[in-house]
Structure 1
Amino acid sequence: MNKFPASMPQLYACPECTTGSVSRELTVQTGGSVIIPCYYDKKYTEHKKYWCFDAKAAYLYCSILAYANETKGKVSVIDHPDQSFFTMTMRNLQHEDTGSYWCVEEIGGIFLMDEKEQLHLTVQSAPDVSVKSSSVSGHEGDNVSVQCFYSSGYKNKLKQWCRYKDKSCYTEKRTDTSQNSSVQISDDGRSFTVLMTGLRRSDSGWYFCSAGDLQAPVQLTVTEGT
């Protein structure tokens, strides 16, 4: 349901009602599914979380699709308070699902704004940026690789592998060891491969590979070495 009736008059210019800054752009194949992580400050652990949508990017009129820890239709939201994030899963995506979405922590009160992050999702027959699997795993000390596909229009765009939690990124053609694992990115002109070596348990979490402004989320799970 809409948060406010459609007939409510708009008396003043409201920056919260327009598109604003879109922090994430994703593309998903028609009929496919997507899992999106939404991180939040620990002070919002006990607050309600929800996922809402408006095709025209108007937050004021966005429709709440589901609250945390519930499933409605093809949408499921699961909160992970011990890790300060919740995930949103959407299945069987169709063209009409294209539009703006928001991860929201409900603050409450008439004059208090909810904490939110906007992202834009485009459903298309051939996604411009994608991954074969949105979940990869490995043991401590092992290596893991992720292949990130992109369309021809993104061949010359900057390729990166980033961690959602702390917004740290590894860039194509550079090796970085600042996160206790060596990360290398190699590009063959149609896809790029991320290689993480010497995995640590602390490397577990949500990442995304990106080409230009487009992202594809990937969850990495590192388990205790055998």
Structure 2
Amino acid sequence: SFWIFFFIGCWALIGPQEASGPLGGELTVQCWYGRGYENYIKYWCRGTTWTSCLIVVTTGSEAIVKHDRVSIKDIHTFCTFIVTMKNLTEKDSGTYWCGIDKLGLDLMFSVKVNVLPAVPASPPPAPMRETTVHAASTESSFRWTAPEVAESNSTVHSSDPPAG
């Protein structure tokens, strides 16, 4: 704990160099600032350089501020602000900046945002079908339930149905 606060105390503003989230999903970026900046305006902006940065969302208090799919929350006690981007699109990839508005040059830290391909959902379980099998050597019959198997390149192993 001591080392974390010591490290943070050496920087006016730090954050992750990169943040990633899945297409259609969300990502969260946490930026840390030094003591004394609690009451300054914090912002999240987009642009390849800090001079071309367009502000996406800003906050001047600890209240959550939302703009479109982006929200920002400043937590003074921990000297951090958290940005959340939801419903990510491919166009959201790019360079963003954590920023603190102050007299003279703002404090800024760049974050490369990557939107990753959506993770395919797991296929639903195969539907069960009921099959009646008649044993040739006896008069009795039994029911055996087997899953439908979709055509694939994999090998399917099955055991013989139980004798009845």
**How far off its partner does 1:47 sit?**
0.6
Query: Counterparts in 2 of 1:73-222, with a 5 A limit?
Result: 73-108=68-103, 112-125=104-117
* Amino acid of the structure 2 residue aligned with 1:32: G
Sort the Cα spacing of 1:23 and 1:71 in 2 relative to 1 into closer, same or farther, 3 A: closer
**How far off its partner does 1:97 sit?**
0.4
The residue aligned with 2:7 is none
**How far off its partner does 1:126 sit?**
5.1
SS in 2 for 1:42: coil
**How far off its partner does 1:27 sit?**
2.2
Alignment equivalent of 2:57, drawn from 66, 71, 75: 66
The residue aligned with 1:3 is none
**How far off its partner does 1:58 sit?**
2.0
Alpha-carbon separation, structure 2, partners of 1:103 and 1:124: 21
Alpha-carbon separation, structure 2, partners of 1:116 and 1:36: 14
Query: Tell me, which stretches of 5 or more residues in structure 2 are unaligned?
Result: 1-14, 120-164
Query: Tell me, which stretches of 5 or more residues in structure 1 are unaligned?
Result: 1-21, 128-226
1:44 aligns with 2:37: yes
The answer to whether the 8 Å contact 2:95/2:111 transfers is: yes
Structure number with greater Rg is 2
Alpha-carbon separation, structure 2, partners of 1:77 and 1:28: 17
* Amino acid of the structure 2 residue aligned with 1:66: V
TM-score for the superposition, normalised by structure 2? 0.58
**How far off its partner does 1:41 sit?**
0.6
The residue aligned with 2:124 is none
Alpha-carbon separation, structure 1, partners of 2:66 and 2:91: 20
SS in 2 for 1:96: helix
* Amino acid of the structure 2 residue aligned with 1:38: C
SS in 1 for 2:73: strand
**How far off its partner does 1:43 sit?**
1.3
Sort the Cα spacing of 1:79 and 1:23 in 2 relative to 1 into closer, same or farther, 3 A: closer
Sort the Cα spacing of 1:78 and 1:84 in 2 relative to 1 into closer, same or farther, 3 A: same
Alpha-carbon separation, structure 2, partners of 1:91 and 1:23: 18
Alpha-carbon separation, structure 2, partners of 1:121 and 1:113: 24
* Amino acid of the structure 1 residue aligned with 2:84: T
1:53 aligns with 2:46: yes
**How far off its partner does 1:124 sit?**
2.1
The residue aligned with 1:200 is none
**How far off its partner does 1:92 sit?**
0.3
Sort the Cα spacing of 1:73 and 1:89 in 2 relative to 1 into closer, same or farther, 3 A: same
